Amino acid sequence: MPVKVSVIVPVYNPGIYIEDCISSLQRQSLPPDEFEVIFVDDGSTDETPARLDALAAEDPRMKVIHQENSGWSGKPRNVGIEASRGEFVMFVDNDDYLGDEALERMYDYGTANGADVVVGKMAGKNRGVPVELFRRNHPRATVENAPLIDSLTPHKMVRRAFLDRIGLRFPEGRRRLEDHVFIAEAYLRAENVSVLSDYVCYYHIRRDDGSNAGFERFDPVGYFKNLREALDVVEQYTEPGPVRDRLFRRWLRVEMVERLRARRLLNLPDDYRRELFGEIHEVVVERFGPGVAAGLQPTQQVIAALTAADRYDDVVAFAEWEAGVAPTAAPGDIEWRDGSLRIGFTAEYLSGGEPMLFPADAGAAPLTDVPKDVTEAVRWVASETAARFGQATADLLLRERTSAAQYFQPVEFTRETVPVGDGEEVRLVLRGTATVDPGVLPRDGAWDALVRVKSGGWTKECRLGPAPREDRPVPSAGVVGDRPVLPYWTTPHGNLSLELGARGKRLGLGRVELGDVTVSDDRFRVLLPLHVPGDSRVRLRFVSSRRILETPGTLSPDAGRPGSVLEAVLPEDLSDDVWRVAVCPNPGSDRARFAGLPFALRVGGGSVLVTPVPGPGVALRLARRARRVLGTARRKVNSRIRTGGR
């Protein structure tokens, strides 16, 4: 069979951090004979070379090439390209890992759309990754119709024939931003680029020891010399005008202005940040025309203008002011509706811990002159932010806690200006309602709710919360698509999270009261604080000191309140005894679990009485007895199987 994908992994002293990478490659859903992995060991001095040799000896998909240290990742990737046999090559760093279906999904998506480059959705664990690019799928993306330029790391799938046709390879040697040069040219010369956003393909990891190559402090002179090479690529393959300005703006914004903002600048030693500022000043003056900075957000425009004017002290002072600016998001109503969770919230920016204030009569005015001081700069930013409030947005994202995979949720929002004091100043408040369908989230686990606020010169995220304990909403758990879902407030901070696959006491069934239980003849009815979108089958378990009985039941929405109604026919052989009751709300799922209810049925003399759960000692003895009964039943079944059913 032809090889569809060759995965190329440059390796240098990763230690234990390569294990997650290896495991993810071995778990790929693409058939084993349709992909290969080429580890290019760039002169590692730890135990990795022996580890890779042993791996290759036992797994025919894995190949290892050893070479002398070249100083950076460019040459190992090029060596891997030359050794590859795949229709596509996929670049993976040795301390990152792939989603289990990444190669299959990216290959199928790329071939379906005739792509030369396939960009898979990324999740960053303690490091930033593009967000807006992965808001939706882009089967035919360009630098003009999608924010492709936000993603310049090499972690893409690229058609090998395309690389050979245009002669594209990574710059080699000890240098920075070799991936920018490579990926920028690939974007600009590809016949098509496809962005896959509905599955997390690549997990970008920051090591616990902080030793990723990209996090090492760099030499500003060498760094910005390499950055100019990426700008040269853009100049070579674009014409002067709006498109080139927009592409250049990415480097001005991300690699220059953002390095001179708030805590990121203030946390650097003064001598280093002066050197950094000097190099950035040279590039800004040398390479960027007025159209590049004009498209930045207000705060970014101020920093670019002050940098071009060589006003280092004002850049630092502006950073000190901006370090106190942060978003806040307060939860509102949270309720279930037709199988979806509707989450209300308000969001705005704070300055120094207080709501940020803006002029009520603000009007847009371009930054034609460099602000004379930081006070004037802050005043212009406030006025421009208010004037652009019609463009402000609020999004709600759910981020899976262990993997950092995040997904945008549908949000409806309004913008509101709230007068303050005598009305000359206002607060800019966004009021939103997100609709969360738990059925589309890909995996069980804890999902944290974050609000992403874009207003003026800031695009920042914060947790949804904290919610004051005394008046926070208490949403019930739900069962959607055979998956129990629990909205809850974190301890001690009071931020909103969801637990998918919740079970046991986490479902909140302990809130059932005796008055919620009705037994009539052989019918059993309980009101549960559990949302269900429609009628569903459940399983009931009755446990006494002697036996365990199970029976089917039905869970239906309760038209009169937010919860649901559990109904079942009691087992016929419910003998005189005390019976503990448990319910499994998703019996057809591989995640099925029983959750105990806080009452018992006392059967005797032909009547059934609902009573509180027995004390801890009695409950423990019942549980132990139940385990013994189940164990005896299993042994009898196994014995019958061994004796042919006799």
Q: Give the pLDDT band (50/70/90) at residue 643.
A: low
Q: Give the pLDDT band (50/70/90) at residue 642.
A: low
Poorest-confidence range of 327-341, 497-511, 516-530? 497-511
- The pLDDT value recorded for residue 631 is 63
Distance CA 581, CA 569 (A): 13
pLDDT at 626 over 70: no
Tell me what the mean pLDDT of segment 609-613 comes to.
Answer: 92
pLDDT at 78 over 90: yes
The overall pTM is greater than 0.75:
yes
Q: Residues 6 or more apart from 25 whose CB is under 8 A from it? A: 7, 37, 61, 62, 92, 97, 98
Cα separation values, 613 from 448, 508, 514, 545, Å: 34, 16, 10, 14
- Structure-token pair, residue 410: 């549908």
- The pLDDT value recorded for residue 181 is 97
pLDDT at 471 over 90: no
| DSSP codes, 4-63 | -EEEEEEESS-GGGHHHHHHHHHT-SS-GGGEEEEEEEES--SSHHHHHHHHHHH-TTEE
Poorest-confidence range of 117-121, 215-219, 224-228, 590-594? 215-219
The closest alpha carbon to 139, from 159, 109, 162, 161, belongs to: 109
Comparing 386 with 508, the larger pLDDT belongs to 386
pLDDT at 625 over 60: no
Cα separation values, 370 from 282, 286, 314, 322, Å: 17, 18, 11, 18
pLDDT at 619 over 70: no
- The pLDDT value recorded for residue 629 is 58
Are 486 and 515 in contact by the 8 Å Cβ rule? The answer is no
Condensed to tens digits (0 to 9), the pLDDT of residues 264-312 reads 999 999 999 999 999 999 999 999 999 999 999 999 999 999 999 999 9
Q: Give the pLDDT band (50/70/90) at residue 614.
A: low
pLDDT at 454 over 60: yes
Burial of 432 (0-12, 13-18, 19+ CB in 10 A): buried
Measured from the Cβ of residue 613, the count of other Cβ atoms closer than 10 Å reads 17
pLDDT at 591 over 70: yes
Tell me what the mean pLDDT of segment 95-110 comes to.
Answer: 97
Percent of the chain with pLDDT strictly greater than 90 = 81
- The pLDDT value recorded for residue 376 is 97
Distance CA 154, CA 149 (A): 12
Q: Give the pLDDT band (50/70/90) at residue 210.
A: low
Tell me what the mean pLDDT of segment 213-224 comes to.
Answer: 80
pLDDT at 216 over 70: no
Q: Give the pLDDT band (50/70/90) at residue 215.
A: very low
Distance CA 282, CA 237 (A): 23
- What are the structural domain ranges in the chain? 325-472+480-500, 504-615
pLDDT at 59 over 70: yes
The closest alpha carbon to 633, from 541, 546, 538, belongs to: 546
Condensed to tens digits (0 to 9), the pLDDT of residues 344-356 reads 999 999 999 999 9
Condensed to tens digits (0 to 9), the pLDDT of residues 236-267 reads 999 999 999 999 999 999 999 999 999 999 99
Distance CA 114, CA 192 (A): 7
Measured from the Cβ of residue 296, the count of other Cβ atoms closer than 10 Å reads 19
pLDDT at 438 over 80: yes
**C-alpha 444: how far from its chain's center?**
14
pLDDT at 521 over 80: yes
Longest dimension (CA), the chain: 97
CATH of the domain spanning 504-615: 2.60.40
- The pLDDT value recorded for residue 261 is 97
